[in-house]
Amino acid sequence: MTFSQANNLVTSPSRSPQKPSYSVNSVRVTSKRRPQCQRNRPASARVSVRSSRRARCSSRRSASPAACLRAAQGSRQRLSKAHPKAQQASSQQSTPTLTDVAILRDEDFGGIYFDITIEDFNKLGFAFGDSLDVTFSNGYELKGIPYYNGYYTKLNEPLVVGYPGYPHVKVGINFGDPLWEVAGVTKKDTATITVAEPGKFLVNQQTFDMTYTNERSDYSSDEVFANFRASKGGKLKDNWIYRSASPIENDYNRASTVSALASKAKINFILDLADSEKDIDEVLEDDKQEGVDTSFFTSLRDKGDVAPADLGAAYPTEDYRTSLVTALNKMAEHDGPYLVHCTEGKDRTGFVCLLLESLSGASYDEMLEDYMLSYDNYFGINKEADPKGYEAIIDLRFNDMINCIAENASDNPNSADYVEGARTYLRSGGMTDEQIDALLAKISN
């Protein structure tokens, strides 16, 4: 999907020996501070990306997991006893079916809750990775959509989600239009859910429901642990645009390592995709209390050499493009080397680096290699060790991003015009040709 299609959304969705054995939920990434109960877990614990402080909600705009849960929990009383037949499911049938379940609008994002808990839903025989048919009593249907425990679809694709902590199962459109309005349902309507094909999306579920550890000793180097490296491709200057996990967010025990590597690389400017100024203040206060050394970051911030962009993952939308252009214009006012980061330096950072690599004339293969290295660093997923997982990530993440830059690029990846695609994307966010040329002069030879 290209940015020009963003407002016409439809509802059709051997690991390296140095790395641990992983089982990743790589949804990301659009909230503010994580709930305090999550932030208190030990830094050394094995973590799921699903439980990180930036968990994606099914909307074009972003919200914290806490906000999502508050909205869902507030619906529990309103949903209860709304329909006596809500729990009448055909558990005796060979095909799991839930009939005439009550529904309620998610007031924050326009998705639709079913009046059943994730646990009870799964007890009926529904399983993450299944393909489901959803039919509403007004006649609106969603056929063959995935059921996941995270938001693993491409942007603008529908899914049923049993997100950990949600009190109810939910159906929505990932970063798309509000399904409640799209489906034209009311609170008097009900839904019937049936398994269309068991395990159809199981590879995606297993690939994106993995975890990684926060122990430095589980990784082969500081660079792998911190997901720290210089972007390459096309005419990009060597060792000029670095990417990494956060140098301040220490929930994953990487901030100090990133800071040391950034200092060694003589980083002169930081583009922080994850945080607002307020977020940074809160994170730095946490770091101070926990004894995390953030002196390198704060020294740049004090000089005005940090640009907080506070971006989610809705990169085709107008709001995203406008905000990113503002941040890139500020970056172009400074000299490199530059550091681009979000929380893990994987998907939000991945898209921005793809955009800059495209602008600099990188090839599809060069961009793919750089993007996929993050999944190898964190989870040991690469073409040789896990070919199915590798292809799933390309399909659901990388191609979705590259198609946003150059329309239908994944259909003919080696012939797409990524340079002009990148320029068109930046223009759509308000960047002039002169500003684009100025940015390009800063980052490429």
User: How do residues 326-340 score in pLDDT, each as one tens digit?
Assistant: 999 999 999 999 999
Strand order in the sheet with 269-272: 229-230, 241-244, 338-341, 269-272, 306-308
Mean pLDDT of the chain: 83
d(C-alpha 91, C-alpha 251), whole Å: 41
Helix-helix angle 255-264:295-302, to 10 degrees: 60
41 has pLDDT over 70: no
9 pLDDT band (50/70/90 cuts)? very low
Higher pLDDT, 289 or 30: 289
| Percent above pLDDT 70 for the chain | 79
d(C-alpha 375, C-alpha 344), whole Å: 10
Specify the residue for token string 């990524």: 418
SS (H, E, C) the chain: CCHHHCCCCCCCCCCCCCCCCCCCCCCCCCCCCCCHHHHCCCCCCCEEHHHCCCCCCCCCCCCCHHHHHHHHHHHHHHHCCCCHHHHCECCCCCCCEEEEEEEEECCCCCCEEECCCHHHHHHCCCCCCCEEEEEECCCCEEEEEEEECCCCCCCCCEEEECCCCCCCCEEEECCCCCHHHHHCCCCCCEEEEEEEECCCCHHHHHHHCCEECCCHHHCCCHHHHHCCEECCCCCECCCCEEEECCCCCCCCCCHHHHHHHHHHCCCCEEEECCCCHHHHHHHHHHHHHHCCCCHHHHHHHHCCCEEECCCCCCCCCHHHHHHHHHHHHHHHCCCCCEEEECCCCCCHHHHHHHHHHHHCCCCHHHHHHHHHHHHHHHHCCCCCCCHHHHHHHHHHHHHHHHHHHCCCHHHCCCCCCHHHHHHHHHHHCCCCHHHHHHHHHHHEC
Specify the residue for token string 């292809």: 391
At 25 the pLDDT is: 33
d(C-alpha 271, C-alpha 248), whole Å: 13
407 pLDDT band (50/70/90 cuts)? confident
Higher pLDDT, 164 or 4: 164
121 pLDDT band (50/70/90 cuts)? very high
Q: Which among 177, 169, 185, 104 has a CA at the least distance from the CA of 132?
A: 169
d(C-alpha 422, C-alpha 182), whole Å: 31
228 has pLDDT over 90: yes
At 108 the pLDDT is: 85
d(C-alpha 66, C-alpha 336), whole Å: 37
pLDDT in tens, 57-113: 333 233 333 334 334 444 444 344 444 344 444 444 579 999 999 999 998 889 999
At 76 the pLDDT is: 40
123 has pLDDT over 80: yes
At 375 the pLDDT is: 97
Mean pLDDT of 357-367: 97
d(C-alpha 151, C-alpha 399), whole Å: 16
Amino acid found at 320: Y
51 pLDDT band (50/70/90 cuts)? very low
At 167 the pLDDT is: 86
Mean pLDDT of 396-403: 95
pLDDT in tens, 162-173: 999 888 999 999
At 93 the pLDDT is: 53
Higher pLDDT, 17 or 396: 396
Q: What are phi and psi of 114, to 5 degrees?
A: -95, 145
Structural domains present in the chain: 56-208 (2.40.30.90), 220-443 (3.90.190.10)
At 337 the pLDDT is: 98
pLDDT in tens, 254-304: 999 999 999 999 999 999 999 999 999 999 999 999 999 999 999 999 999
Q: What is the pTM of this model?
A: 0.80
46 has pLDDT over 60: no
At 58 the pLDDT is: 33
Task: Assess contact for 120 and 161: CB atoms under 8 A.
Answer: no
Q: Which among 78, 140, 139 has a CA at the least distance from the CA of 104?
A: 78
Higher pLDDT, 2 or 190: 190
pLDDT in tens, 151-203: 999 999 999 999 998 889 999 999 899 999 999 999 999 999 999 999 999 99
**Within 13 Å and on the Cβ side, how many CA atoms surround 131?**
10
At 409 the pLDDT is: 87
